[in-house]
């Protein structure tokens, strides 16, 4: 029987966007996921994301009989680590894809900026409020995103799946709309946890690894000192931005495989 990876997606990108990565992992792992985190009204978005963590824990508890690996990108990496802190007996280990831990003075700055609203100007939150939500056709959606510099760097398989599952067809005329509610995406950005570093002060209860993008603005903003402590040095880099899984899906899958082997030996 294959080991299970429960994957959690980044904010705004339904899990099926990552199908190219899942396919590469599928020879060795059974990959499962929640398609759209934060869209179940039982688990609303609030400060520090406690209900989103509960959504992940609820899914793990109902679905699996043995401990599983948790792998997540950005939002998903944080939720995976927080779920492991609450239910370590259900988790073999965690791999975070560009989810650097905010701690120390940076967490204090984050808390104040959220109170004052400054965080909205320093994150993608502001753009999210006015994000376009509708396209007349698949071709129009493809042209729209492919023309944007950030999306132009994506592997075309990943972009195709994002359009297929992140912007699904909604009517017989072929028009498409965002599957991820932009109001929820905005709320997630505005409620980024600032207490995670303190909760990791005594270390993580399960093996943790971090894979980051060499050009990640998020890593530069947050720093890596708390992440190094949490991972015990299990850190790897892939050339790319915060969205390196979309830019380098095959390399990402191979890095996840290497990291899981490392963490298995540590465990």
Per-residue pLDDT at 91 exceeds 70:
yes
Range in 135-139, 146-150, 155-159 with the lowest mean pLDDT: 146-150
pLDDT of residue 125: 61
DSSP H helices in the chain: 19-25, 50-63, 75-86, 105-116, 118-122, 125-129, 138-146, 149-152, 156-161, 182-190, 196-199, 217-222, 225-231, 244-247, 249-266
Of the candidates 259, 264, 263, 252, the residue with the CA atom closest to the CA atom of residue 10: 252
Q: Are 101 and 200 in contact (CB under 8 A)?
A: yes
Mean pLDDT of 243-249: 98
Per-residue pLDDT at 54 exceeds 60:
yes
pLDDT of residue 127: 73
Distance CA 88, CA 158 (A): 32
Range in 39-43, 105-109, 123-127, 228-232 with the lowest mean pLDDT: 105-109
Distance CA 255, CA 102 (A): 23
Q: Are 86 and 112 in contact (CB under 8 A)?
A: no
Mean pLDDT of 63-88: 97
pLDDT of residue 123: 56
Domains of the chain (ranges; CATH) run 3-121+191-266 (3.40.50.1820)
Confidence of residue 193 (pLDDT cuts 50, 70, 90): confident
Mean pLDDT of 206-218: 95
Residue found under tokens 């297929």: 164
pLDDT of residue 111: 45
pLDDT of residue 192: 85
Of the candidates 35, 34, 36, the residue with the CA atom closest to the CA atom of residue 60: 34
pLDDT of residue 102: 80
């Amino acid at each position: 029987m294959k080991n299970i990876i429960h994957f959690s997606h980044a904010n705004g990108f339904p899990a099926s966007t990552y199908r190219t990565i899942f396919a590469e992992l599928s020879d060795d792992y059974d990959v499962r996921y929640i398609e759209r985190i934060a869209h179940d009204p039982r688990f609303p978005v609030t400060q520090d994301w406690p209900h989103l963590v509960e959504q992940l824990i609820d899914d793990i508890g109902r679905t699996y009989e043995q401990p599983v690996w948790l792998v997540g990108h950005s939002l998903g990496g944080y939720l995976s680590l927080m779920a492991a802190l609450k239910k370590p007996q259900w988790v073999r280990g965690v791999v975070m894809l560009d989810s650097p831990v905010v701690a120390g003075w940076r967490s204090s700055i984050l808390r104040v900026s959220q109170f004052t609203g400054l965080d909205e100007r320093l994150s993608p939150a502001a753009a999210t409020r006015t994000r376009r939500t509708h396209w007349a056709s698949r071709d129009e959606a493809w042209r729209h995103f492919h023309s944007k510099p950030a999306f132009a760097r994506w592997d075309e398989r990943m972009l195709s799946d994002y359009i297929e599952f992140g912007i699904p067809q909604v009517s017989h005329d072929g028009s498409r709309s965002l599957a991820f509610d932009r109001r929820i995406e905005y709320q997630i950005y505005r409620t980024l946890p600032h207490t995670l570093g303190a909760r990791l002060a005594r270390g993580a209860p399960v093996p943790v690894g971090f894979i980051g993008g060499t050009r990640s603005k998020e890593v530069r903003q947050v720093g890596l000192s708390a992440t190094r402590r949490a991972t015990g040095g299990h850190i790897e880099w892939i050339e790319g931005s915060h969205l390196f899984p979309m830019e380098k899906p095959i390399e990402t899958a191979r890095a996840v495989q290497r990291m899981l082997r490392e963490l298995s030996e540590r465990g």
